[in-house]
Structure 1
Amino acid sequence: MRRRTFIAAMPAVTLAPAALAQSNSAPPGGGQGGAPMPASDASPPPVWPEGEARFLRPDVQAGDRPVGASFASRTAAYGLHGAAGTAHPLATQAGIAILRAGGSAVDAAITINSCLGLLEPTANGIGGDCYAMVWDPAERKVMGLAGSGASPMGLSLATVRERSRNGVLPALGALSVSVPGTVDAWWTLHQRYGKLPWRDLFAPAIAMATEGTPVPDMIAWYIRRSLIGFRRPNNGLEESENALKTYGMADGQGPQTGQVFRNPDLARTYQMIAEGGRDAFYTGPIARTIDAYFRRIGGWLRAEDLARHRSDWVQPHSTDYRGTTVHALGENTQGIATLQMLNMLELFDLKGAGFQSAQSIHLQAEAKRLAYEDRARYYADPRFTDLPVEWLVSKEYAAERAKLIRPDRIAPDVQPGNAPSRGDTTYFSCADDSGMMVSLIQSNFRGMGSGLVADGLGFMFQDRGQLFSLADGHPNIYAPGKRPFQTIIPGFATRGDQPWMSFGVMGGDMQPQGQTQIILNTVDYGLDIQSAGDAPRWHHEGSSEVMGEDAADLPDTGLLRLETGVPEKTRAELASMGWTIGDPDGGFGRYQCVEHRRDGDARVYAAASEMRADGCALAY
């Protein structure tokens, strides 16, 4: 199979000129852009012009791996005592250092997440929310934590409707800001599972924020793209000076690849949290600064909203998929969509259909369409409405829904099931020497977040409130003090009474689709955890949305995007089934995983990281 060559998150329309310049403008083996050939018997290697977004040569494929999958980027990292896979090498190194110092997997997770708030501000930060699943080796079960903040109590539904556009909350500005849940989630995890002193966990991030770190390719590109939106006229932002000051660098445009980025404001904020714990954020000096800032810009978040917030320990839902138990968080997340998809797909012979075959992808995408109609209809904050979760994740309901999947063509129309009557994101995984494993996901939601950075604090607030619905009678309709629907979901899988995989796939509505593909790649197709993530992915878009806004300018059956590595025969067969095939756009998620194995009496960890991003996995 030809290995994928496109780099995630690079739109095809943006990349086309570079592709043409390098594949058509010069003769085979020749210079770039019509440059004369040097006098030499050997053709010189093509040059990657400085500033190009990607280097594309359709006639060049990946080197050959002597073992493993032909499309795999590398081998998983193996170790006996601990492991971590994150979206940035420095965060992974910091987590491993905490483990080596005697910290728990939870300690390492807090350190990793605090580092990523600096290193990867395009995906996460303490202005966002946090969810986790923890394998507790003492209890021998998966524990769930929901760190999701609520909407401001002083913001009414009437005001939200008045200031929204086309019946949907805006992505930027104070209207979309809800209480950040991350710091309290860290504190709650540490109170139960921490081993090292709380203050020690922030030392790596404080040092990096003060000294600065070079920004890798993907993150630099995302920051610069986000800042374009923050500078755009009439974008709805109450103010953008703080964001541009924090992330703009000297030219106000954002960092270039490899440029050193510093955030002394965030270093001071982390120092206050290190010294004052969660109270520094929710009732102390940080809360007072947040309150003053939103009053200054005319927003609604107040110190009272922050003081009211608490994370919740929750019971994960689960389903058996061919002998593997897959766990998911319910609450106000889309986690159970993964379980719904797997329950339907278990009724089909995916192994017999064949890896990367049209039949396999067709069945997966149809299961997604059915599950996501339920997602748009039912998923919401269970504290405000009675949700039929047990029915949605039941095998009986899956059997009914699976009957709607046609094996040879796409169903023309799918609707949510009728419930019975009744009263940008970062993901990482780490594990320690005790057997504890942490699956944690944390996000500011769309892009870098709301565009709002409080005076002198160095982090951006999430725009998670955009996911509220404004439709009367919808379970996810906006209300003061209510938690919005969440896309962020950690993943976990067990086998028997043993943990197996702590994993996740970042990326909005891609997350259940990506989690499902990882489970199928490992369980049905036998891929190792690194190859399972490197395998070409599909992403279907165009299902009904939770906030009530249907996708515009798409066919009624949506758009099925396929990564470049999907075989051409598969593409053609899917099109003949009725699928509208879309070009790859980078929206295929980013994956991290730690796997637990046994070799006799020895515990062995394997760690994998996403080849579509800037991260790495390490073990020791």
Structure 2
Amino acid sequence: MINFDAHSYPYTSQRTATYGKKGMVATSQSLAAQAGLDILKKGGNAIDAAIATAACLTVVEPTSNGIGGDAFALVWVKDKLYGLNASGRAPQAISIDAVKAQGNEKMPTYGWTPVTVPGAPSAWAELSERFGKLPLTEVLQPAIDYAENGFPLSPILAKYWNLAHEKYKKLFTGEEYKPWFDTFTLNGKAPQAGDMWKLPGHAATLRSIARTKAKSFYEGELADQIDAFSRKHGGFLRKEDLALHQAEWVEPIKANYRGYDVWEIPPNGQGLVALLALNIVEGYSFKEKDTVDTYHKSWEAMKLAFTDGLRYITQNDKMTVSIEDLLSKEYAAKRRELITDTALDPEPGEPARSGTVYLATADEEGNMVSFIQSNYMGFGSGIVIPGTGIAMQNRGHNFSLDPEHDNRLEAGKQTYHTIIPGFLTKDDKAVGPFGVMGGFMQPQGHMQVVMNMIDFNLNPQAALDAPRWQWKEGKVFELERSFPEHVALTLEQKGHDVRYAVGSGSFGRGQIIVRNEDGVLIGGTDHRTDGTVAVW
């Protein structure tokens, strides 16, 4: 297991890791984390706790996820890792020509056009059916209670809720957006930190999903309501699209990094990018974390990996190159040869042809879950189904309207997906779940926290607290304000276009749980969010 340095890097928040034995839930909202822990104490397992926490997050953090979003999970049960892809597909009626006929040269960000089939409810039902111990009605009850009785807004949640409202009241002028304002504002205002907020429509929807094991969402009355609102406002989504949806159990993909297996969900998720980058930097030996050499090589590796990901990642069976070829050590060596002492402009390689919430849970039985769920870009498309609290995602925005692009828009297709759960094992034993949410920051965050723990022996809390960097495009990197300035200045001399970012909102928000050889759970949660590690 990882040999954490007890005195390692007390970055920024100077918080210590959290320790426990019987159970642990780490996520971005304390109310949701506590709800998951309560389910553990009632006899549920880590899977039940993950579902309860995820459902609760749709209520207490609607700025980042919702019932109308997608989800992915990595689940460790009885010494085996399982992957679940619950991302939805494009409607059957949509096409590049149909979108261009609306006057679009690229996929729009808001409205009905970028809406794909939501997968989150199917993830909850599928996980519960296969691995849960408690009935879904009991597991979703904490979320229903918060939606029905109200919850107080935490500070960072209130900040992003208000920012969204300020933006949306300028952008959303059509009748189709009125339910968003009806649901998430009162008397023309968004709630503030400490305000109580209720979501009664949300409660009724969660109760229906729990009672029917999500069938009402895909085949019943909720599907009818989604269909009707889509038809009314010219959307492509239909009840038939919802009925065709099925969460899919998939084989996770991995890269071995210095003796540890780093696991991700296969494409259409972008976890492949993190593995490609780790494969490249594994060819180097890093003695210290905050050095120009460490950052330069890590940055160059990430640029090369991301360029490949943006070129090739789409629905798994529609990729033009194989995952095995991309993840081969030979291909990593070929990409590594491109790294010199100065910054490069990355281009995709040629291998051989063959708005988000994250949570981690663990229980005393040894089960562990890495779970991620999102509407994308905060509240998603801006479309809320009247009276239901269902905020629809806008994942279709990532499709390309270029008919020659691997990730081109097609009816019934899954798009390149940004949300990715991560998991670490060593010698076929679980080390634990990890994740960093936040759009295209996610694989970059995965790479950074894995290197922080494995290369530099940082405990989970320190690994999350460390200053982050983010590749934007070309030679441009954004840095958090806490990033060492003397290192940044020297990196500029190597040709990197270095820019300090205002605030930390774009650098992701993560959680980690690790189980040591004595069975003790060690957890960390990001200081960039309102997060908590609930422990038993």
**What TM-score comes out, normalization by structure 2 length?**
0.96
Partner of 1:281: 217
Partner of 2:185: 248
Deviations along 1:481-529, one digit per CA (max 9) or x if unpaired, are 1111100000001011210020000011111110000011111111111
Residues 148-297 of structure 1: matches in 2 within 5 Å?
148-163=87-102, 165=104, 167-233=105-171, 239-250=176-187, 252-297=188-233
Q: Which amino acid in 1 is paired with 2:89?
A: A
Partner of 1:337: 273
CA contact 1:92–1:618 (8 Å) conserved in 2:
yes
Tell me how far apart the structure 2 counterparts of residues 267 and 87 of structure 1 sit (CA, whole Å): 21
| Aligned-pair CA distance for 1:191 | 1.0
Tell me how far apart the structure 1 counterparts of residues 422 and 7 of structure 2 sit (CA, whole Å): 28
**Residue from 480, 490, 495 that aligns with 1:578:** 495
| Aligned-pair CA distance for 1:157 | 2.1
Tell me how far apart the structure 2 counterparts of residues 320 and 114 of structure 1 sit (CA, whole Å): 33
| Aligned-pair CA distance for 1:95 | 0.4
**Residue from 576, 579, 588 that aligns with 2:507:** 588
The 3-state SS of whatever aligns with 1:189 is helix
- Indicate whether 1:417 and 2:349 are aligned: yes
Deviations along 1:249-303, one digit per CA (max 9) or x if unpaired, are 23x2311111111100101111111212111111111111111111111212111
**Residue from 300, 305, 308 that aligns with 2:236:** 300
User: Can you give the 5+ residue segments of structure 1 that lack an aligned partner in the other structure?
Assistant: 1-65, 543-556
Tell me how far apart the structure 1 counterparts of residues 475 and 337 of structure 2 sit (CA, whole Å): 20
Distance 1:596 1:294, change over 3 A: same
Q: Which amino acid in 2 is paired with 1:582?
A: R
CA contact 1:522–1:529 (8 Å) conserved in 2:
yes
**Residue from 610, 613, 617 that aligns with 2:526:** 610
Tell me how far apart the structure 2 counterparts of residues 512 and 132 of structure 1 sit (CA, whole Å): 15
| Aligned-pair CA distance for 1:604 | 1.0
- Indicate whether 1:392 and 2:356 are aligned: no
| Aligned-pair CA distance for 1:213 | 0.8
**Residue from 48, 59, 83 that aligns with 1:118:** 59
Residues 359-370 of structure 1: matches in 2 within 5 Å?
359-370=293-304
| Aligned-pair CA distance for 1:164 | 5.5
Tell me how far apart the structure 2 counterparts of residues 386 and 415 of structure 1 sit (CA, whole Å): 17
CA contact 1:172–1:237 (8 Å) conserved in 2:
no
Tell me how far apart the structure 1 counterparts of residues 118 and 321 of structure 2 sit (CA, whole Å): 24
Tell me how far apart the structure 1 counterparts of residues 440 and 459 of structure 2 sit (CA, whole Å): 25
| Greater mean deviation of Cα atoms: 528-537 or 291-300 | 291-300
Q: Which amino acid in 2 is paired with 1:127?
A: G
Partner of 1:324: 260
How many residue pairs were aligned? Answer: 528
Tell me how far apart the structure 2 counterparts of residues 574 and 331 of structure 1 sit (CA, whole Å): 32
Deviations along 1:378-414, one digit per CA (max 9) or x if unpaired, are 10012334432111111110000001111x2212x22
| Greater mean deviation of Cα atoms: 562-571 or 174-183 | 562-571
Partner of 1:526: 457
Q: Which amino acid in 2 is paired with 1:186?
A: W
Partner of 1:75: 16
Tell me how far apart the structure 1 counterparts of residues 377 and 118 of structure 2 sit (CA, whole Å): 14
| Aligned-pair CA distance for 1:421 | 3.7
Residues 64-103 of structure 1: matches in 2 within 5 Å?
68-71=8-11, 72-103=13-44
The 3-state SS of whatever aligns with 1:69 is coil
The 3-state SS of whatever aligns with 2:501 is coil
Deviations along 1:302-332, one digit per CA (max 9) or x if unpaired, are 1111011001100011111011110111131
Percent same amino acid among aligned pairs? 39
The 3-state SS of whatever aligns with 2:59 is helix
Deviations along 1:181-218, one digit per CA (max 9) or x if unpaired, are 01111111111101001100111111111111111111
Q: Which amino acid in 1 is paired with 2:499?
A: G
Distance 1:386 1:415, change over 3 A: closer
| Aligned-pair CA distance for 1:450 | 0.1
**Residue from 456, 470, 473 that aligns with 2:404:** 473
Distance 1:532 1:421, change over 3 A: closer
Q: Which amino acid in 1 is paired with 2:480?
A: E
Tell me how far apart the structure 2 counterparts of residues 154 and 197 of structure 1 sit (CA, whole Å): 36
The 3-state SS of whatever aligns with 2:318 is coil
Deviations along 1:330-384, one digit per CA (max 9) or x if unpaired, are 131111111100000001122x2x2122211111111111011111211001233
- Indicate whether 1:559 and 2:473 are aligned: no
Distance 1:225 1:390, change over 3 A: same
| Greater mean deviation of Cα atoms: 433-442 or 381-390 | 381-390
Distance 1:239 1:558, change over 3 A: farther
| Aligned-pair CA distance for 1:97 | 0.4
- Indicate whether 1:107 and 2:48 are aligned: yes
Deviations along 1:562-613, one digit per CA (max 9) or x if unpaired, are 11222221011111111111122421110101111122xxx21111111110
Tell me how far apart the structure 2 counterparts of residues 572 and 470 of structure 1 sit (CA, whole Å): 39
| Aligned-pair CA distance for 1:237 | 5.3
| Aligned-pair CA distance for 1:158 | 0.8
CA contact 2:400–2:407 (8 Å) conserved in 1:
yes
CA contact 1:445–1:464 (8 Å) conserved in 2:
yes
CA contact 2:325–2:353 (8 Å) conserved in 1:
no
Partner of 2:448: 517
Tell me how far apart the structure 1 counterparts of residues 8 and 268 of structure 2 sit (CA, whole Å): 39
The 3-state SS of whatever aligns with 1:295 is helix
Distance 1:445 1:164, change over 3 A: farther
CA contact 2:128–2:135 (8 Å) conserved in 1:
no
Residues 490-501 of structure 1: matches in 2 within 5 Å?
490-501=421-432
Tell me how far apart the structure 1 counterparts of residues 55 and 381 of structure 2 sit (CA, whole Å): 19
Report which structure shows greater RCO (CA 8 Å, sep ≥6): 2
Partner of 2:382: 451
User: Greater Rg, structure 1 or structure 2?
Assistant: 1
Tell me how far apart the structure 1 counterparts of residues 210 and 20 of structure 2 sit (CA, whole Å): 30
**Residue from 347, 350, 357 that aligns with 1:426:** 357
Tell me how far apart the structure 1 counterparts of residues 147 and 520 of structure 2 sit (CA, whole Å): 34
| Aligned-pair CA distance for 1:68 | 4.9
Partner of 1:347: 283
Partner of 1:10: none
Q: Which amino acid in 1 is paired with 2:520?
A: V
| Aligned-pair CA distance for 1:238 | 5.6
**What TM-score comes out, normalization by structure 1 length?**
0.83
| Greater mean deviation of Cα atoms: 561-570 or 365-374 | 561-570
CA contact 1:287–1:306 (8 Å) conserved in 2:
yes
CA contact 1:146–1:331 (8 Å) conserved in 2:
no
| Aligned-pair CA distance for 1:459 | 2.4
Partner of 2:3: none
Q: Which amino acid in 1 is paired with 2:140?
A: F
| Greater mean deviation of Cα atoms: 292-301 or 223-232 | 223-232
Partner of 1:141: 80
CA contact 2:8–2:457 (8 Å) conserved in 1:
no
CA contact 1:182–1:442 (8 Å) conserved in 2:
yes
Tell me how far apart the structure 1 counterparts of residues 320 and 137 of structure 2 sit (CA, whole Å): 40
| Greater mean deviation of Cα atoms: 239-248 or 582-591 | 582-591
| Aligned-pair CA distance for 1:230 | 2.3
CA contact 2:28–2:358 (8 Å) conserved in 1:
yes
CA contact 2:320–2:353 (8 Å) conserved in 1:
no
The 3-state SS of whatever aligns with 1:325 is strand
